Amino acid sequence: MAHVLGQNQYGKAETRVVRITRNGHRHEIRDLNVSVALSGDLDDVHLTGSNAHCLPTDTTKNTVYAFAKQYGITSPEAFGIQLARHFVDDTEPIHRARIRVEEYVWDRIATPDNSAKFIGSDEIGHSFVRRGTEVRTSEIVYDGSSVQVISGLKDLIVMNSTNSEFWGYIKDRYTTLQEAYDRILATQVTARWKFGFTGAEGEPEPNWDRSYGQVRRHLLEAFAETYSYSLQQTLFAMGNRVLDNRAEVDEVRLELPNKHHFLVDLEPFGLKNDNEVYYAADRPYGLIEGTVHREGVAPVIPVA
């Protein structure tokens, strides 16, 4: 029986690179985790063991470091596009490159007496604090003719302590959940959004950092301002707010685990629990997922 080699790719995963830009006393940090996956004319390396068309994964790692020095890192998206174009355009057997980037964000440390060091500033120019668990993400795919950019974030933890209900759902003999008319709504947001940008000649790139900040703001504002009757409703409101306000984005995919908070029964202690004391459950948790996209634009972001 004959067997056929299917889709394949290879590369170097999770190359950690930290780039410091020194502008006098004020420094800038870009802290990235870069994964490269290449595909193309690679049948022989699988079928015969010939490495004639194989760019070593160690070379892709070195390229990440070299590009960080040569070109700097203005944003994860711009850096990923540079890498993807290089691997495809400059290595003949490679026809497609996928670059995935995680960015770990560092905020400046502010001190009340810092003015003595930097006039007119309340920030230390070289001291930073990591921004919790939140991670910025991007995925760039280039096939030699067009670029696809999907930006995102993960592990953004948010909570509404009220303005959330859940009732009127299907009930069968296994249903024990009580209807809630004032509950905590908490989730750990994973969001990905696709740009209309294709990388065509002469097409200007979006301001990636500004776009990221604005999309993040609209996600948070929609979460905070939506009176929620279900996490699904909140998901749609978050995606809808982004598309309403960011013309460069065509599609938003959200994954929202429901971080359940259950009222603790205090009656055995003679105490009334008036929506004040909760048990934060770790697992199991509800997982709400969905995509919001512009009418007439086919969704392309895959399920993670």
Nearest-5° Cα angle at 102, 98 to 108: 150
Instruction: Pick the catalytic residue from 27, 53, 57, 261.
Output: 57
Whether 12 is catalytic is yes
Residue-level pLDDT at 119? 43
pLDDT tens track for 186-232: 999 999 999 999 999 999 999 999 999 999 999 999 999 999 999 99
Closest CA to 252 of 241, 267, 260: 241
pLDDT tens track for 24-54: 888 999 999 999 999 999 999 999 999 999 9
**Complete domains list, the chain, with CATH:** 9-145 (3.10.270.10), 152-304 (3.10.270.10)
Kindly report the average pLDDT of the chain as a whole number.
95
Tokens of 221: 């504002």
User: Tokens 């013309």 — which residue?
Assistant: 247
State the Cα–Cα distance between residues 110 and 122, nearest whole angstrom. Answer: 6
Q: Using a pLDDT cut of 70, give the percent of the chain over it.
A: 96
Instruction: Pick the catalytic residue from 218, 259, 260, 293.
Output: 260
Tokens of 97: 């490159």
- Please report which helix (H) or strand (E) contains residue 148, including its range: strand 147-160
Residue-level pLDDT at 124? 64
Whether 60 is catalytic is no
Instruction: Pick the catalytic residue from 12, 61, 194, 218.
Output: 12
3-state secondary structure 6-74: CCCCECCCCEEEEEEEEECCEEEEEEEEEEEEEEECCHHHHHCCCCCCCCCHHHHHHHHHHHHHHHCCC
pLDDT tens track for 135-153: 999 999 999 999 999 999 9
Residue-level pLDDT at 117? 52
Residue-level pLDDT at 123? 57
Residue-level pLDDT at 286? 97
pLDDT tens track for 238-257: 999 999 999 999 999 999 99
pLDDT tens track for 81-113: 999 999 999 999 999 999 999 999 999 888 776
Nearest-5° Cα angle at 189, 273 to 247: 130
